[in-house]
Protein backbone atom coordinates (compact mmCIF):
# COMPACT_ATOMS: atom_id res chain seq x y z
CA UNK A 1 0.00 0.00 0.00
CA UNK A 2 1.13 3.53 -0.73
CA UNK A 3 -0.09 6.61 1.11
CA UNK A 4 0.59 10.32 0.71
CA UNK A 5 0.73 12.18 4.03
CA UNK A 6 0.49 15.93 3.46
CA UNK A 7 1.25 17.88 6.61
CA UNK A 8 2.70 21.20 7.69
CA UNK A 9 5.58 19.50 9.48
CA UNK A 10 6.46 16.57 11.71
CA UNK A 11 8.00 16.69 15.17
CA UNK A 12 10.68 17.48 16.19
CA UNK A 13 11.40 19.39 12.97
CA UNK A 14 8.31 21.47 13.68
CA UNK A 15 6.87 21.70 17.20
CA UNK A 16 3.20 21.08 17.93
CA UNK A 17 0.68 18.41 18.80
CA UNK A 18 -0.46 17.92 15.19
CA UNK A 19 3.18 17.65 14.09
CA UNK A 20 3.84 14.98 16.72
CA UNK A 21 0.79 13.08 15.52
CA UNK A 22 2.12 13.31 11.93
CA UNK A 23 5.49 11.96 13.06
CA UNK A 24 3.92 8.87 14.62
CA UNK A 25 1.60 8.32 11.67
CA UNK A 26 4.64 8.29 9.39
CA UNK A 27 6.64 6.08 11.72
CA UNK A 28 3.94 3.46 12.19
CA UNK A 29 2.92 3.40 8.55
CA UNK A 30 6.57 2.63 7.77
CA UNK A 31 6.80 0.06 10.58
CA UNK A 32 3.84 -1.70 8.96
CA UNK A 33 5.67 -1.65 5.60
CA UNK A 34 3.38 0.95 4.06
CA UNK A 35 5.11 3.28 1.61
CA UNK A 36 4.64 6.92 2.59
CA UNK A 37 5.19 10.01 0.47
CA UNK A 38 5.70 12.50 3.30
CA UNK A 39 5.11 16.13 2.30
CA UNK A 40 6.36 18.46 5.03
CA UNK A 41 8.80 21.26 5.94
CA UNK A 42 11.55 22.01 8.45
CA UNK A 43 11.58 24.63 11.22
CA UNK A 44 14.52 23.38 13.27
CA UNK A 45 18.29 22.96 13.40
CA UNK A 46 18.00 19.26 12.51
CA UNK A 47 19.01 17.92 9.11
CA UNK A 48 15.59 17.02 7.74
CA UNK A 49 17.08 15.07 4.84
CA UNK A 50 18.65 12.62 7.28
CA UNK A 51 15.32 11.78 8.98
CA UNK A 52 17.42 10.69 11.94
CA UNK A 53 14.41 10.13 14.21
CA UNK A 54 13.35 7.13 12.13
CA UNK A 55 15.10 3.76 12.02
CA UNK A 56 17.04 2.70 8.96
CA UNK A 57 14.34 0.20 8.01
CA UNK A 58 11.56 2.79 8.47
CA UNK A 59 13.40 5.21 6.20
CA UNK A 60 13.25 2.70 3.34
CA UNK A 61 9.46 3.17 3.28
CA UNK A 62 9.49 6.98 3.57
CA UNK A 63 9.87 9.26 0.56
CA UNK A 64 10.46 12.70 2.07
CA UNK A 65 9.29 15.72 0.08
CA UNK A 66 10.48 18.87 1.83
CA UNK A 67 8.81 22.18 1.03
CA UNK A 68 9.50 25.76 2.08
CA UNK A 69 6.64 27.22 4.10
CA UNK A 70 5.64 30.52 2.43
CA UNK A 71 6.44 33.79 4.15
CA UNK A 72 4.52 37.04 3.96
CA UNK A 73 3.98 40.29 5.77
CA UNK A 74 1.53 40.10 8.65
CA UNK A 75 -1.97 41.27 7.76
CA UNK A 76 -5.48 40.11 8.70
CA UNK A 77 -5.77 36.60 7.31
CA UNK A 78 -2.06 36.23 6.54
CA UNK A 79 -2.03 32.71 8.04
CA UNK A 80 -4.83 31.64 5.70
CA UNK A 81 -2.98 33.12 2.74
CA UNK A 82 0.27 31.31 3.62
CA UNK A 83 -1.57 28.07 4.32
CA UNK A 84 -3.27 28.14 0.94
CA UNK A 85 0.04 28.87 -0.81
CA UNK A 86 1.62 25.96 1.07
CA UNK A 87 -1.23 23.68 -0.02
CA UNK A 88 -0.54 24.73 -3.62
CA UNK A 89 3.12 23.75 -3.22
CA UNK A 90 2.05 20.41 -1.75
CA UNK A 91 -0.36 19.81 -4.63
CA UNK A 92 2.32 20.58 -7.21
CA UNK A 93 4.71 18.19 -5.43
CA UNK A 94 2.46 15.13 -5.82
CA UNK A 95 0.03 15.89 -8.66
CA UNK A 96 1.94 13.68 -11.12
CA UNK A 97 1.81 10.76 -8.66
CA UNK A 98 -1.88 10.87 -7.73
CA UNK A 99 -2.77 7.65 -9.54
CA UNK A 100 -0.13 5.74 -7.52
CA UNK A 101 -1.72 6.32 -4.11
CA UNK A 102 -4.19 4.10 -2.28
CA UNK A 103 -5.12 6.89 0.15
CA UNK A 104 -4.15 10.49 0.81
CA UNK A 105 -4.09 11.69 4.44
CA UNK A 106 -4.00 15.48 4.80
CA UNK A 107 -3.49 17.58 7.91
CA UNK A 108 -5.18 20.92 8.48
CA UNK A 109 -4.96 23.27 5.51
CA UNK A 110 -2.08 21.35 3.88
CA UNK A 111 -4.45 19.46 1.55
CA UNK A 112 -6.66 22.46 0.74
CA UNK A 113 -5.68 22.82 -2.94
CA UNK A 114 -5.78 19.06 -3.55
CA UNK A 115 -9.24 18.64 -2.02
CA UNK A 116 -10.53 21.68 -3.92
CA UNK A 117 -9.20 20.43 -7.25
CA UNK A 118 -10.82 17.03 -6.73
CA UNK A 119 -14.12 18.62 -5.69
CA UNK A 120 -14.13 20.73 -8.87
CA UNK A 121 -13.56 17.63 -10.99
CA UNK A 122 -10.18 18.87 -12.22
CA UNK A 123 -8.44 15.71 -11.00
CA UNK A 124 -9.34 12.12 -10.17
CA UNK A 125 -7.60 10.20 -7.39
CA UNK A 126 -8.13 7.91 -4.44
CA UNK A 127 -10.05 8.99 -1.36
CA UNK A 128 -8.71 11.96 0.59
CA UNK A 129 -9.01 12.20 4.37
CA UNK A 130 -8.51 15.39 6.35
CA UNK A 131 -7.70 15.96 9.99
CA UNK A 132 -7.95 19.31 11.73
CA UNK A 133 -6.30 18.60 15.06
CA UNK A 134 -8.95 19.89 17.46
CA UNK A 135 -11.20 22.20 15.45
CA UNK A 136 -10.17 24.86 17.98
CA UNK A 137 -11.63 27.59 15.77
CA UNK A 138 -15.08 26.31 16.77
CA UNK A 139 -14.27 26.18 20.50
CA UNK A 140 -14.30 29.06 22.99
CA UNK A 141 -11.65 31.76 22.61
CA UNK A 142 -9.92 33.64 25.44
CA UNK A 143 -9.82 37.11 23.85
CA UNK A 144 -11.11 39.30 21.05
CA UNK A 145 -8.06 38.75 18.83
CA UNK A 146 -8.49 34.97 19.02
CA UNK A 147 -12.21 35.30 18.29
CA UNK A 148 -11.39 37.29 15.14
CA UNK A 149 -8.89 34.63 14.06
CA UNK A 150 -11.52 31.95 14.61
CA UNK A 151 -14.06 33.92 12.58
CA UNK A 152 -11.61 34.14 9.68
CA UNK A 153 -10.70 30.42 9.79
CA UNK A 154 -14.16 28.89 10.16
CA UNK A 155 -15.53 29.12 6.60
CA UNK A 156 -12.37 27.61 5.11
CA UNK A 157 -12.24 24.78 7.65
CA UNK A 158 -15.92 24.09 7.06
CA UNK A 159 -15.44 23.99 3.28
CA UNK A 160 -12.43 21.67 3.40
CA UNK A 161 -14.13 19.34 5.89
CA UNK A 162 -17.29 19.10 3.79
CA UNK A 163 -15.36 18.48 0.55
CA UNK A 164 -13.02 15.76 1.88
CA UNK A 165 -14.02 12.13 1.37
CA UNK A 166 -13.55 11.38 5.06
CA UNK A 167 -12.80 13.45 8.15
CA UNK A 168 -10.70 12.08 10.98
CA UNK A 169 -11.82 12.97 14.51
CA UNK A 170 -10.44 12.29 17.97
CA UNK A 171 -14.04 11.77 19.12
CA UNK A 172 -15.97 13.41 21.93
CA UNK A 173 -16.81 17.07 21.51
CA UNK A 174 -14.68 17.24 18.36
CA UNK A 175 -17.04 14.87 16.56
CA UNK A 176 -19.94 17.05 17.71
CA UNK A 177 -18.24 20.06 16.10
CA UNK A 178 -17.58 18.22 12.83
CA UNK A 179 -21.24 17.19 12.61
CA UNK A 180 -22.36 20.74 13.40
CA UNK A 181 -20.50 22.13 10.37
CA UNK A 182 -22.28 19.84 7.94
CA UNK A 183 -20.17 16.68 7.71
CA UNK A 184 -22.32 13.56 7.56
CA UNK A 185 -21.67 11.02 10.36
CA UNK A 186 -20.87 8.27 7.79
CA UNK A 187 -17.90 10.36 6.61
CA UNK A 188 -16.41 10.75 10.11
CA UNK A 189 -13.75 8.33 11.37
CA UNK A 190 -13.09 8.45 15.12
CA UNK A 191 -9.57 7.45 16.16
CA UNK A 192 -7.80 8.74 19.29
CA UNK A 193 -4.11 9.53 19.48
CA UNK A 194 -1.48 7.69 21.47
CA UNK A 195 2.10 7.38 22.65
CA UNK A 196 4.81 5.03 21.51
CA UNK A 197 5.11 1.90 23.63
CA UNK A 198 8.75 2.70 24.45
CA UNK A 199 7.65 6.02 25.99
CA UNK A 200 5.45 4.27 28.56
CA UNK A 201 7.25 3.95 31.89
CA UNK A 202 7.66 0.48 33.34
CA UNK A 203 6.78 1.80 36.80
CA UNK A 204 5.34 4.96 38.32
CA UNK A 205 6.77 7.28 40.93
CA UNK A 206 5.53 6.91 44.50
CA UNK A 207 7.87 9.38 46.17
CA UNK A 208 7.59 10.05 49.90
CA UNK A 209 8.06 13.82 49.83
CA UNK A 210 5.49 15.65 51.99
CA UNK A 211 4.34 17.78 49.05
CA UNK A 212 2.75 17.46 45.64
CA UNK A 213 4.69 18.00 42.43
CA UNK A 214 2.78 19.59 39.54
CA UNK A 215 3.96 20.20 35.98
CA UNK A 216 2.80 22.17 32.92
CA UNK A 217 4.14 21.13 29.52
CA UNK A 218 3.58 23.41 26.53
CA UNK A 219 3.91 26.82 24.95
CA UNK A 220 2.79 30.12 26.42
CA UNK A 221 -0.17 30.47 24.07
CA UNK A 222 -3.08 32.44 25.48
CA UNK A 223 -5.48 29.55 24.85
CA UNK A 224 -3.34 27.24 27.02
CA UNK A 225 -4.73 28.95 30.13
CA UNK A 226 -1.42 30.13 31.57
CA UNK A 227 -2.81 33.50 32.70
CA UNK A 228 -5.52 31.79 34.74
CA UNK A 229 -3.01 29.23 36.02
CA UNK A 230 -0.59 31.96 37.11
CA UNK A 231 -3.31 33.77 39.04
CA UNK A 232 -4.19 30.58 40.91
CA UNK A 233 -0.53 29.72 41.58
CA UNK A 234 0.15 33.17 43.01
CA UNK A 235 -2.79 32.67 45.36
CA UNK A 236 -1.64 29.21 46.43
CA UNK A 237 1.96 30.29 47.06
CA UNK A 238 0.70 33.10 49.29
CA UNK A 239 -1.28 30.49 51.25
CA UNK A 240 1.91 28.45 51.67
CA UNK A 241 0.35 25.33 50.20
CA UNK A 242 2.67 22.32 50.16
CA UNK A 243 3.62 21.90 46.49
CA UNK A 244 6.11 22.58 43.71
CA UNK A 245 5.19 23.52 40.15
CA UNK A 246 7.41 23.00 37.11
CA UNK A 247 6.98 24.54 33.66
CA UNK A 248 8.45 22.74 30.64
CA UNK A 249 8.31 24.91 27.53
CA UNK A 250 9.21 28.39 26.27
CA UNK A 251 7.65 30.67 28.88
CA UNK A 252 8.60 34.38 28.48
CA UNK A 253 10.16 36.14 31.47
CA UNK A 254 7.16 38.46 31.69
CA UNK A 255 4.94 35.48 32.57
CA UNK A 256 7.24 33.84 35.10
CA UNK A 257 6.39 33.79 38.80
CA UNK A 258 9.30 34.47 41.12
CA UNK A 259 8.91 31.95 43.91
CA UNK A 260 11.06 29.11 45.22
CA UNK A 261 8.34 26.53 44.55
CA UNK A 262 7.95 27.51 40.86
CA UNK A 263 10.58 26.09 38.48
CA UNK A 264 11.09 26.87 34.76
CA UNK A 265 13.01 24.44 32.53
CA UNK A 266 12.57 26.28 29.23
CA UNK A 267 12.03 24.63 25.85
CA UNK A 268 13.06 20.97 25.64
CA UNK A 269 12.80 18.95 22.42
CA UNK A 270 14.51 15.78 23.61
CA UNK A 271 11.76 13.21 24.26
CA UNK A 272 13.74 11.23 26.84
CA UNK A 273 14.55 14.34 28.85
CA UNK A 274 10.88 15.30 28.84
CA UNK A 275 9.98 11.78 29.95
CA UNK A 276 12.53 11.98 32.78
CA UNK A 277 11.15 15.30 34.02
CA UNK A 278 7.55 14.12 33.81
CA UNK A 279 8.32 10.97 35.80
CA UNK A 280 9.60 13.13 38.67
CA UNK A 281 6.18 14.78 39.06
CA UNK A 282 2.75 13.74 40.29
CA UNK A 283 0.14 15.72 38.36
CA UNK A 284 0.05 17.34 34.93
CA UNK A 285 -2.01 20.53 34.68
CA UNK A 286 -3.62 21.37 31.31
CA UNK A 287 -6.08 24.26 31.86
CA UNK A 288 -6.62 25.11 28.18
CA UNK A 289 -9.50 27.07 26.68
CA UNK A 290 -9.48 24.78 23.64
CA UNK A 291 -7.72 21.54 22.69
CA UNK A 292 -7.94 18.47 20.49
CA UNK A 293 -6.41 15.35 22.02
CA UNK A 294 -3.32 16.75 23.75
CA UNK A 295 -0.16 14.68 23.44
CA UNK A 296 1.08 16.23 26.66
CA UNK A 297 -1.70 14.48 28.57
CA UNK A 298 -0.90 11.15 26.94
CA UNK A 299 2.80 11.56 27.68
CA UNK A 300 2.06 12.43 31.30
CA UNK A 301 -0.24 9.41 31.65
CA UNK A 302 2.50 7.25 30.14
CA UNK A 303 4.76 8.46 32.96
CA UNK A 304 2.11 7.63 35.56
CA UNK A 305 0.83 11.12 36.34
CA UNK A 306 -2.65 12.10 37.43
CA UNK A 307 -4.23 14.84 35.31
CA UNK A 308 -5.98 18.16 35.92
CA UNK A 309 -7.46 19.34 32.61
CA UNK A 310 -10.21 21.39 31.02
CA UNK A 311 -13.15 19.46 29.61
CA UNK A 312 -12.63 20.54 26.00
CA UNK A 313 -12.01 18.70 22.72
CA UNK A 314 -11.72 14.97 23.35
CA UNK A 315 -10.00 15.28 26.73
CA UNK A 316 -12.87 13.55 28.53
CA UNK A 317 -11.86 10.36 26.71
CA UNK A 318 -8.59 10.46 28.62
CA UNK A 319 -9.42 12.12 31.94
CA UNK A 320 -12.10 11.35 34.52
CA UNK A 321 -12.36 11.32 38.30
CA UNK A 322 -10.64 7.93 38.19
CA UNK A 323 -7.32 9.40 37.07
CA UNK A 324 -7.68 13.11 37.71
CA UNK A 325 -9.90 16.16 37.70
CA UNK A 326 -11.92 17.63 34.82
CA UNK A 327 -12.68 21.34 35.08
CA UNK A 328 -14.55 23.90 33.00
CA UNK A 329 -12.26 25.94 30.73
CA UNK A 330 -11.21 29.34 32.11
CA UNK A 331 -12.77 28.55 35.48
CA UNK A 332 -10.18 29.72 38.02
CA UNK A 333 -12.28 28.62 40.99
CA UNK A 334 -12.49 25.04 39.72
CA UNK A 335 -8.78 25.06 38.86
CA UNK A 336 -7.90 26.22 42.38
CA UNK A 337 -10.20 23.60 43.93
CA UNK A 338 -8.66 20.85 41.80
CA UNK A 339 -5.10 21.87 42.72
CA UNK A 340 -5.91 21.97 46.43
CA UNK A 341 -7.74 18.64 46.22
CA UNK A 342 -4.71 17.15 44.45
CA UNK A 343 -2.45 18.45 47.22
CA UNK A 344 -4.64 17.03 49.97
CA UNK A 345 -6.00 13.79 48.46
CA UNK A 346 -5.07 10.43 49.94
CA UNK A 347 -6.04 8.74 46.66
CA UNK A 348 -3.29 10.10 44.40
CA UNK A 349 -1.47 6.79 43.83
CA UNK A 350 -4.69 5.19 42.63
CA UNK A 351 -5.27 8.02 40.14
CA UNK A 352 -1.70 7.73 38.87
CA UNK A 353 -2.07 3.98 38.43
CA UNK A 354 -5.33 4.46 36.49
CA UNK A 355 -3.59 6.89 34.11
CA UNK A 356 -0.74 4.48 33.54
CA UNK A 357 -3.05 1.53 32.89
CA UNK A 358 -5.33 3.45 30.51
CA UNK A 359 -2.53 4.61 28.24
CA UNK A 360 -1.16 1.06 28.02
CA UNK A 361 -4.47 -0.56 27.11
CA UNK A 362 -6.07 2.13 24.94
CA UNK A 363 -3.75 4.93 23.89
CA UNK A 364 -0.55 3.38 22.59
CA UNK A 365 0.51 3.80 18.97
CA UNK A 366 0.51 0.09 18.13
CA UNK A 367 -3.25 0.12 18.72
CA UNK A 368 -3.84 3.55 17.13
CA UNK A 369 -1.81 2.69 14.02
CA UNK A 370 -3.77 -0.51 13.42
CA UNK A 371 -7.08 1.33 13.80
CA UNK A 372 -5.88 3.95 11.30
CA UNK A 373 -4.67 1.35 8.79
CA UNK A 374 -7.95 -0.57 9.07
CA UNK A 375 -9.91 2.65 8.50
CA UNK A 376 -7.83 3.44 5.41
CA UNK A 377 -8.28 -0.09 4.03
CA UNK A 378 -12.03 0.27 4.47
CA UNK A 379 -11.97 3.58 2.55
CA UNK A 380 -9.67 2.71 -0.36
Residue-wise pLDDT tens digits, 34-70: 999 999 999 888 888 899 999 999 999 999 999 999 8
> What percent of the chain has a predicted confidence (pLDDT) above 70?
98
Tell me what pLDDT residue 207 has: 63
Tell me what pLDDT residue 72 has: 72
Model pLDDT for residues 276-320, shown as the tens digit of each residue: 999 999 999 999 999 999 999 999 999 999 999 999 999 999 999
Assess whether pLDDT exceeds 90 at residue 89: yes
In a shared domain, residues 142 and 277 = no
Mean pLDDT of the chain: 93
Domain total of the chain: 2
Assess whether pLDDT exceeds 90 at residue 269: no
In a shared domain, residues 6 and 36 = yes
In a shared domain, residues 202 and 312 = yes
In a shared domain, residues 16 and 120 = yes
In a shared domain, residues 338 and 369 = no
- Segment 324-333 shows an average pLDDT of 96
- Nearest-Å Rg of the Cα atoms of the chain is 21
Residues 287/337, Cβ–Cβ less than 8 Å: no
Question: Which structural domain, as residue segments, surrounds residue 280?
Answer: 198-361
pLDDT band at 272 (very low <50, low <70, confident <90, very high): confident
Q: Which one, of 240, 248, 241, 245, lies nearest residue 219 by Cα?
A: 248
219: CATH: 3.40.50.2000
Model pLDDT for residues 121-176, shown as the tens digit of each residue: 999 999 999 999 889 999 999 888 889 889 999 999 999 999 999 999 999 999 99
In a shared domain, residues 339 and 370 = no
Secondary structure in 3-state letters for the chain: CEEEEECCCCCCCCCCHHHHHHHHHHHHHHHCCCEEEEEEECCCCCCCCCCCCCCHHHHCCEEEEEECCCCCCCCCCHHHHHHHHHHHHHHHHHHHHHHHCCEEEEEHHHHHHHHHHHHCCCCCCCCEEEECCCCHHHCCCCCHHHHHHHHHHHHHHHHHHHHCCEEEECCCHHHHHHHHCCCCHHHEEECCCCECHHHCCCCCCCCCCCCEEEEEECCCCHHHCHHHHHHHHHHHHHCCCCEEEEEECCCCHHHCCCCCCEEEEECCCCHHHHHHHHHCCCEEEECCCCCCCCHHHHHHHHCCCEEEEECCCCHHHCCCCCCEEEECCCCHHHHHHHHHHHHHCCCHHHHHHHHHHHHHHCCEHHHHHHHHHHHHHCCC
In a shared domain, residues 105 and 175 = yes
Model pLDDT for residues 229-243, shown as the tens digit of each residue: 999 999 999 988 889
Tell me what pLDDT residue 45 has: 85
In a shared domain, residues 160 and 31 = yes
In a shared domain, residues 11 and 129 = yes
Q: Which one, of 228, 243, 222, lies nearest residue 339 by Cα?
A: 243
In a shared domain, residues 125 and 213 = no
* pTM for this prediction: 0.90
In a shared domain, residues 349 and 263 = yes
Tell me what pLDDT residue 73 has: 67
- Segment 101-116 shows an average pLDDT of 98
Amino acid sequence: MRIALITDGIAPYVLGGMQKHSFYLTKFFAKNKIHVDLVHYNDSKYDINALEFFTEEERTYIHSIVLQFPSSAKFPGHYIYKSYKYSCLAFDAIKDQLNTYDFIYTKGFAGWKLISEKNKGHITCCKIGVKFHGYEMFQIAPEAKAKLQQFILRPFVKQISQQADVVFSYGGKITDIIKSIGVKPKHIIEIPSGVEKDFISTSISSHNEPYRKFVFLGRAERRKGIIELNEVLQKLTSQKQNFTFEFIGPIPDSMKIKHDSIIYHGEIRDAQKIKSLLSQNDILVCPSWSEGFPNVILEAMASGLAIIASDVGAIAAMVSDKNGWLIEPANKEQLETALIDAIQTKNLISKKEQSHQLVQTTFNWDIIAQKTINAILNNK
